[in-house]
Amino acid sequence: MATRWGIAGAGKIAHDFISTLRSMEHHEVVAVADEYFPQNARDLSKLHGIPTIHLTYDELASDTNVDIVYVAVIQPYHHTVGKVILNRGKAMLMEKPFTLNPQFTRELIELAAQKKCFMMEAVWTRFLPSYRKMAECISSGQIGEVRYVNANFGLALDPGCRNKRLAVGGGAVLEFGIYLCNVCCMAFGSERPIRIAAVGHVNDEGVDETTGILLQYTRGRLANLTASTETALPCNAVVVGTKGKIEIPGMMWCSPSVITPDGVTHEFPFPDTALPCNYDNSSGLRYEAREVSQCLKEGRLQSAIMPHSETQLLSDMMYEIRKQIGVFYPQES
Amino acid sequence: MATRWGIAGAGKIAHDFISTLRSMEHHEVVAVADEYFPQNARDLSKLHGIPTIHLTYDELASDTNVDIVYVAVIQPYHHTVGKVILNRGKAMLMEKPFTLNPQFTRELIELAAQKKCFMMEAVWTRFLPSYRKMAECISSGQIGEVRYVNANFGLALDPGCRNKRLAVGGGAVLEFGIYLCNVCCMAFGSERPIRIAAVGHVNDEGVDETTGILLQYTRGRLANLTASTETALPCNAVVVGTKGKIEIPGMMWCSPSVITPDGVTHEFPFPDTALPCNYDNSSGLRYEAREVSQCLKEGRLQSAIMPHSETQLLSDMMYEIRKQIGVFYPQES
């Protein structure tokens, strides 16, 4: 039986996700809602042939035809919209970053448990074949003990774009840092850093544009990360262990390839999507969608690959980084 | 006329430097001294046919046959030995890192000026053809404005080695960090970082073994560095500008190659030395030796490529890093 998706928030990533789902078997998009931009919901419905349009997220979450809601509203509203969905007892896939801060994240995790709803943060990279290969290399001990991670994600974005605006949840840490922190959580087996140090360049609005991050783990293990919405960086990730290293050679946030310790580059090309996508390699969203339907089928409340504890850890790390560079969002207070 | 060298401190690097000088024209090693290990001076003298052995550094500095003293004692004694040499009005090439802290460095710079002596810190990488090529690419504007530097230098060294001992001036920052900070000074045109953040793993002796460093420059420019005496790192350096990047692909502390923005790898093989060396690519020491003899010939008191201001800047940066991770040497107090 197909997984029946409802879409909350009809922006660019929603379009890409729907386009990806349409290229997969056993997935259907049955409803869409956008409370703030209802025209976007109508447009998406028309473009993708989605049968139902709801006017509110609450209506969407109450739709018995919907198995799971994909929340693709902008970051600052994840917490509010998440509560609406969960309060109706509906399963939820929440776009990353999960919420703005650890307290909001904790509230949603508790609510999902209380309502016995499946819930997952859409850290799609974690499900990409390249990242699965990396995880496999690490867990099988092929590179020995992980000692060091270096990763960077930087694009030279237009000055006026959303990623540079505070009110809509921009910022290098929220937008790109999540991918860097995710690699570290994967590489260091979900350990919590013992110390975090960050320096960031904050624009006139109060949004960080270029941020350097050091994560110190026990026994001298270290991660060294850079996120930027200002400067085009190599966008690679390297995980160094006592016996070798693994590299994601570029576009680390959506890379179809990984270089294993033997120096071999493994390529995992992404299939086509139903319609052209807004973002690079969005077809890779299919792997998280597949995990979701698998979890739902098995009646699980969280994914073993991206469990709630990881979501909380990422949330904690990103908040500490932001706190150190002095970035706070109006929706937090 | 040949440059006549005196050698203060007859350890491994002294051997490599002498071996390199012997493979060059217009360089002679005329005297050697090691106050703490006189047998080492006798051994080096015999091995390399150095005509004179002095018992003290003061005697060496007083030798009218010596044009310049190369100071190759261990770091903690640079300041003391430096004063002895300069007080005799003798030119000096001081091994890096210059001294343990900014105050010691300032004292030597002032003394050299007062005595009108040529003095230079032996940051040999700065004179390597690969680094000259990098400097040329940057200054000619080929990569636009430099926005980001990522560099790492890490070797998995034996637990008991000198680099892990406090009394003899070990530590990842002093030993390896100097190379990382040097790349940043070169890339950012000797600008002073507006903020430094460092986290380090300090061993039982109080020496840092793995240290992560963030250097923040104005307008969101950033450097992200890692030094380790514990973990073998890729040891590469990348300088990213608005129009392209330059890479030192490996062994960044002595690399014969550089990758220019057009993707071309330029190789500058090092000539052979008279005898085999202790350290990798020590033949590259020839380029700093050549700069020294050129400066002496022209009667200059400092090198334009490695001026005193740069030495002070490096000293200031490394001290700030060490202070943040809590590493202090007994010889400082």
The answer to whether the Cβ–Cβ distance between B222 and A214 falls below 8 Å is no
Output the six-digit token pair for B168.
Answer: 């003899």
Backbone dihedral region for residue A234 (phi beyond 0: left; psi -120 to 50: alpha; all else: beta): alpha
Q: Which pLDDT score, from 0 to 100, does residue A333 have?
A: 81
Q: Which pLDDT score, from 0 to 100, does residue A139 have?
A: 97
Q: Which pLDDT score, from 0 to 100, does residue A1 have?
A: 85
Average pLDDT over residues B215-232: 97
Tell me, yes or no, if A210 comes closer than 8 A to chain B by beta carbon.
yes
Tell me, yes or no, if A220 comes closer than 8 A to chain B by beta carbon.
yes
Q: CA-to-CA distance for A238 and A184, rounded, in angstroms? A: 10
Q: CA-to-CA distance for B1 and B24, rounded, in angstroms? A: 13
Torsion angle of alpha carbons B256, A263, A249, A147, nearest 10°? -90
Strand extents, DSSP E, A217-333 = 222-228, 237-241, 245-248, 257-259, 265-267
CA distance A25 to chain B (A): 42
Residue with tokens 């028309």: A46
Mutate to test the interface with A, among B146, B199, B327 (most CBs of A within 10 A): B199
Q: CA-to-CA distance for A128 and B218, rounded, in angstroms? A: 37
> What is the location of CATH 3.40.50.720 in chain A?
3-125
Interface A-B, measured as beta-carbon pairs within 8 A, has a size of 114
Residue with tokens 């793995």: B210
The answer to whether the Cβ–Cβ distance between A209 and B222 falls below 8 Å is no
Q: Which pLDDT score, from 0 to 100, does residue B298 have?
A: 98
CB B327 within 8 A of CB B173: yes
Q: How do residues A268-306 score in pLDDT, each as one tens digit?
A: 999 999 999 999 999 999 999 999 999 999 999 999 999
Task: Please name the member of A147, A200, A213 whose beta carbon is closest to the beta carbon of B231.
Answer: A147
Residue with tokens 């006189």: B38
β pairing state of B52-54 and A195-202: unpaired
**Percentage of residues in chain A having pLDDT higher than 90:** 98
Enumerate the H helices of B63-126 as residue ranges: 78-87, 102-115
Residue with tokens 């807004």: A278
Chain A residues whose beta carbon lies within 8 Å of the beta carbon of residue B147: 210, 228, 230-231
Average pLDDT over residues A226-231: 97
Q: Do you find a cis peptide bond into B97, omega within 30 degrees of 0?
A: yes
β pairing state of A146-154 and A222-228: parallel
Grouping H, G, I as helix, E, B as strand and the rest as coil, residue A122 is: strand
Tell me, yes or no, if A230 comes closer than 8 A to chain B by beta carbon.
yes
Tell me, yes or no, if A183 comes closer than 8 A to chain B by beta carbon.
no
Q: Which pLDDT score, from 0 to 100, does residue B6 have?
A: 98
Q: How do residues B56-102 score in pLDDT, each as one tens digit?
A: 999 999 999 999 999 999 999 999 999 999 999 999 999 999 999 99
Average pLDDT value over all residues in chain B: 97
Task: Please name the member of A212, A219, A238 whose beta carbon is closest to the beta carbon of B222.
Answer: A212
CA distance A60 to chain B (A): 42
Q: CA-to-CA distance for B306 and B182, rounded, in angstroms? A: 10
Output the six-digit token pair for A108.
Answer: 């949603």
Chain B residues whose beta carbon lies within 8 Å of the beta carbon of residue A242: 156, 231
Task: Please name the member of A201, A224, A234 whose beta carbon is closest to the beta carbon of B212.
Answer: A224
Superfamily of domain A129-267+306-332: Dihydrodipicolinate Reductase; domain 2 (3.30.360.10)
Grouping H, G, I as helix, E, B as strand and the rest as coil, residue B246 is: strand
CA distance B211 to chain A (A): 8
- Give the up-direction half-sphere exposure of residue A10: CA atoms within 13 A in the CB hemisphere: 27
Closest-CA residue of A relative to B219 is: A201
Tell me, yes or no, if B198 comes closer than 8 A to chain A by beta carbon.
yes
Chain A residues whose beta carbon lies within 8 Å of the beta carbon of residue B152: 148, 150, 224
Chain B residues whose beta carbon lies within 8 Å of the beta carbon of residue A154: 148
Chain A residues whose beta carbon lies within 8 Å of the beta carbon of residue B153: none
pLDDT at B128 over 90: yes
Give, for B7, the enclosing helix (H) or strand (E): strand B3-8
| Cβ within 8 Å of residue B169, ≥6 positions away | B74, B75, B76, B100, B329, B331
Q: Which pLDDT score, from 0 to 100, does residue B333 have?
A: 81
Candidates A39, A19, A31; CA nearest to A61 is: A31
Tell me, yes or no, if A214 comes closer than 8 A to chain B by beta carbon.
yes
Mutate to test the interface with A, among B146, B148, B247 (most CBs of A within 10 A): B148
Backbone dihedral region for residue B326 (phi beyond 0: left; psi -120 to 50: alpha; all else: beta): left
Q: How do residues B286-302 score in pLDDT, each as one tens digit?
A: 999 999 999 999 999 99
Output the six-digit token pair for A4.
Answer: 């029946």
CA distance A262 to chain B (A): 15
Alpha-carbon separation of residue B16 from B47, B103, B276, B279 (angstroms)? 12, 30, 8, 7
β pairing state of A146-154 and A237-241: antiparallel
Q: CA-to-CA distance for A81 and A59, rounded, in angstroms? A: 12
Average pLDDT over residues B42-51: 98
Give, for A17, the enclosing helix (H) or strand (E): helix A12-22
**Which fold does the domain A3-125 belong to in CATH?**
Rossmann fold (3.40.50)
Mutate to test the interface with B, among A145, A222, A321 (most CBs of B within 10 A): A222
The answer to whether the Cβ–Cβ distance between B220 and A209 falls below 8 Å is yes
> What is the location of CATH 3.30.360.10 in chain A?
129-267+306-332
Q: CA-to-CA distance for A16 and A276, rounded, in angstroms? A: 8
Average pLDDT value over all residues in chain A: 97
Centre a 10 Å sphere on the Cβ of residue A32 and count the other Cβ atoms it contains.
Answer: 28
The answer to whether the Cβ–Cβ distance between B220 and A198 falls below 8 Å is no
pLDDT at A264 over 90: yes
* Ramachandran angles phi, psi of B8, nearest 5°: -105, 110
The answer to whether the Cβ–Cβ distance between B197 and A197 falls below 8 Å is yes
Output the six-digit token pair for A211.
Answer: 């941020």
Q: How do residues A99-142 score in pLDDT, each as one tens digit?
A: 999 999 999 999 999 999 999 999 999 999 999 999 999 999 99
**Percentage of residues in chain A having pLDDT higher than 70:** 100
Alpha-carbon separation of residue A232 from A175, A183, A227 (angstroms)? 14, 19, 10
Q: How do residues B155-172 score in pLDDT, each as one tens digit?
A: 999 998 999 999 999 999
Average pLDDT over residues A2-23: 98
Instruction: Indicate the pLDDT class of residue A312, thresholds 50, 70 and 90.
Output: very high
Tell me, yes or no, if A150 comes closer than 8 A to chain B by beta carbon.
yes
Q: How do residues A154-203 score in pLDDT, each as one tens digit?
A: 999 999 899 999 999 999 999 999 999 999 999 999 999 999 999 999 99
ipTM (interface predicted TM): 0.92
CA distance A216 to chain B (A): 7
Q: Which pLDDT score, from 0 to 100, does residue B216 have?
A: 98
**Positive/negative CA dihedral, B103, B104, B109, B114:** positive
Q: Which pLDDT score, from 0 to 100, does residue A26 have?
A: 97
